[in-house]
Amino acid sequence: MGGKSSEREISLKTGEAVAKALRELGHEVYTFDLTPELPCKLLELKPDKVFIALHGRPGEDGTVQGMLEILGIPYTGSDTIASAVCIDKDFTKRILQREGIKTPKWEVIYEREDLENLNWDTFPAVVKPAREGSSIGLKVVSSFDELKGHVEELLKKTEKVMIEEFIKGRELTVGMLKGEPLPVIEIRPKKGVYDYESKYTKGMSEYVVIEDETLTEKLHEISKKIYKVLSLKDFARIDFRLSEDGEIYFLEVNTIPGMTELSLLPMSAKAKGIDFRELINIIISEGGI
């Protein structure tokens, strides 16, 4: 847990919550920050399994997974290739679009010169880093000047920026556990945009379990296809927008979703009658739900 990503604080909270649950389940648990000494510590400890609670890079991009595979240590979550694909929202959308899964139109910018050739006239639009989680750096813009300014700001910190059509409608998320979809959660941010503040500040968003069976069935069907196509494993969270005319649009996959008190996957599991300890136990187990 921890690491140096912009999601360090949330990762530490996730790690502590997971460690507490594992101890309550009777396991011998050691918590480690992500440091250069970590491989040596793991080789010395020889754990039965590593629970990866690292959000963002290098925890969610396949780097840590690759290290553990080289060390021969089992771990939770998706493998190196699936993680590397899913951390990049552009790569993920390209693959799923080819599979017939609808996603908002988008463009990617690698350097300032790309803006000169950009032909984008759809507003409002979402501007965000292509390889970050927790909605870090996300901004909804309403003009090309505003878009250009935020892209230039993000390019100072990241190597790839995504511009995406903003779909007016509802924000929905589906938790996946061992290949099975959990109850759908609707996110209703008080400020209109589900950004970092809305995600991690109590009272900034309202969360509602969807009871519409037809909508749930559609989202579950798409989520199972995404889980299979991207070769996801153990657990994940898949985000969608439902447009005002009822169209479902895929947004992104979180291969290591948060496990804090405000996190959506535990909330979704609870709606299915799975408490936090049982959720963690299912994730570390070799079987299904």
Distance CA 78, CA 176 (A): 12
One DSSP character per residue, 177-229 reads ETTEEEEEEEEEETTSS--HHHHHSTTSEEEEE---HHHHHHHHHHHHHHHHH
Of 205, 237, 241, 263, the catalytic one is: 237
Q: Is 252 a catalytic residue?
A: yes
Q: Is 112 a catalytic residue?
A: no
Distance CA 97, CA 90 (A): 10
Of 2, 5, 7, 75, the catalytic one is: 7
Of 2, 3, 175, 258, the catalytic one is: 258
60 near 133, Cβ under 8 Å?
yes
Closest by CA position to 237, among listed 258, 209, 210, 260: 258
Q: Is 142 a catalytic residue?
A: no
Distance CA 31, CA 207 (A): 30
Of 11, 134, 223, 263, the catalytic one is: 134
- Exposure of 256 by Cβ count < 10 A (0-12 exposed, 13-18 middle, 19+ buried)? buried
Please state, as a whole number, how many other Cβ atoms lie within 10 Å of the Cβ of residue 114.
Answer: 14
Of 60, 164, 171, 252, the catalytic one is: 252
Q: Is 200 a catalytic residue?
A: yes
Of 164, 171, 195, 239, the catalytic one is: 239
Q: Is 119 a catalytic residue?
A: no
Q: Is 239 a catalytic residue?
A: yes
What residue type is 235 in one-letter code?
F
Please provide the size of the chain in residues.
289
Distance CA 61, CA 160 (A): 14
Of 11, 198, 254, 263, the catalytic one is: 254
Residue burial 123-158, b: 16+ Cβ < 10 Å; e: rest: eebbbbbbbbbbbbbbbbbeeeebbbebbeebbeeb
Which residue numbers are catalytic?
Answer: 7, 134, 200, 237, 239, 252, 254, 258
